[in-house]
Amino acid sequence: MVRHASAVRQHRRSVRKNVVSGKNKAAFRTQVKKLREAIQRQDKEAAQKLLPRTVSLIDQSVKKGTIHKNKGDRFKSRLSRQVELVSPVPSK
DSSP state of 11: H
Q: Where are the domains of the chain?
A: 5-85
5-85 maps to CATH 1.20.58.110: yes
**Chain segment 40-51, per-residue pLDDT in tens:** 999 999 999 999
Measured CA to CA, the distance from residue 30 to residue 18 in angstroms comes to 18
Whether 28 and 57 have beta carbons less than 8 Å apart is answered as: yes
Per-residue pLDDT of 24-82, as tens digits, reads 999 999 999 999 999 999 999 999 999 999 999 999 999 999 999 999 999 999 999 99
What's the pLDDT score for residue 39?
Answer: 95
